[in-house]
A and B are shown apart, each in its own frame.
Chain A
């Protein structure tokens, strides 16, 4: 327990140093509404944790992920990815059930059975070839389905973008996971660490293109990632059924294409 305690203490120090954002004056109604919509009262603290995470990412995780992507053959990485996904199946199954998605729960169950046996310990995603595509669920999404609000945006040390709801979700998912329970009960904690490490490496390697693009092009990376985290969580919670974010929020009142002179004037 020593390491988590240290991290927690570090976290507390950062809170006291960085403090909270000052909300704008109530008299500026628009600015105040924007502040509420941003839902990031801990922004200064979050930004310092984000800076800390970025250094870790740049110095350790990213180089490792690049080496992994460029040196390990694709077929082998696919096996690793499938095995990681397969280990996660029990947690996905539990959350499918909690969300009342019985069809999806059955899919997960059959996938786990087929892939663990004929798929050689999950290294081959045979079920997907049979038309049972994988999907993901977690307890953060389950809480959202149950009606829980996300709460303010949080950047967790090492773990990155989150919010109270998803943070609780992570803990619950960890506790329900039979693999972790088995490892802990048989004194094989190192297996849990190894699994977490490999999963993080594999996941990081999978999004290198997207993050490279963002790091290069964004003007405020913190704000971009905050928005993307929220949008992709909303998308995951709705199981992708809502076509991305709220359609009505995309440019609605597009001005006349044909008369571009009009636009440069004051509306």
Chain B
């Protein structure tokens, strides 16, 4: 009888425990996105500094808030395993450069628009999706733009894993793009050449 009681308590405990954790994950994830928005806009709209410095400040923030290496590795997909160690390293560097320039543009474009957090839903015990809307005067058809942030957690650290704009995932789109280039150029080296071209074109220095 005592044993049964203990089992019952254990069952109840374990059944409720993840629920409590999930709520905490959701709160943590939406607070993380709120903070990210604030810091990103602060680092980019600091008119005291020249633009290259602002971009560098943003890069630091980006490295801290986005799981750049995890995303890069995932985006390269099956080609990651075919790449040499040097190629992997260079790919990740170029990938980060590309992402930084892309997101500098995006945050600058949206600075001043309101980012509303609509809701946050858990994906599993360590990942959550933060649903946000950006109200633009123009918008797509005057409707607010839907932006989902997929956030992962490890201990106390939260990082962005993917950004989904109007139903299109950045990571999936990049993965398809890169796979297409590897297919057409025949190798990861070909992709790296293309990325090098693109980043120097976007970042003339």
Contacts and interface: CB of A to CB of B under 8 A. Distances in A.
A134 B43 CA distance: 37
**Interface size for chain A: under 10, 10 to 19, 20 to 34, or 35 or more residues?**
35 or more
A236 interface: yes
A264 B92 contact: yes
A232 B157 contact: no
Given A217-B101, A219-B194, A222-B180, A231 B154 contact: no
Contacts of A228: 168, 173
Interface in A98-138: none
Contact of A206 (B138, B146, B179, B195): B138
Interface stretch (A89-97, A142-150, A177-185, A246-254): A246-254
Interface string A228-267: 1001101110001001110101111111111010011111
Contact of A249 (B67, B139, B172, B180): B172
A159 to B, nearest CB: 19
A247 B177 contact: no
Contact of A267 (B81, B173, B183): B81
A210 to B, nearest CB: 7
Contact of B67 (A78, A224, A254): A254
Contact of A251 (B67, B140, B142, B202): B67
Contact of B141 (A38, A206, A254): A206
A244 B159 CA distance: 19
B88 interface: yes
A223 interface: yes
Contacts of B73: 251, 255, 263, 267
B172 A264 contact: no
A81 to B, nearest CB: 6
Determine the main DSSP class of A at the interface with B: helix
B121 A243 contact: yes
Given A206-B141, A243-B131, A257 B173 contact: no
Contact of B169 (A78, A223, A231): A231
A257 B142 contact: no
A209 interface: yes
Nearest to B181: A220
A250 B121 contact: no
Contacts of A235: 166-168
Interface in A183-240: 206-207, 209-210, 213, 216-220, 222-224, 226-228, 231-232, 234-236, 240
Interface of B: 67, 69-71, 73-74, 78, 80-81, 85, 88-89, 92, 98, 101-102, 105-106, 109, 121, 123, 129, 131, 137-142, 146, 148, 150, 152, 154-155, 157, 159, 161-162, 164-169, 171-174, 176-181, 183-184, 194-195, 198, 202
Closest 10 CB pairs of A and B: A235-B167, A223-B180, A254-B70, A227-B176, A251-B74, A244-B164, A250-B162, A228-B168, A231-B168, A220-B177
Given A220-B178, A254-B70, A257-B67, 5 more contacts: A223-B180, A251-B70, A255-B73, A257-B157, A263-B70
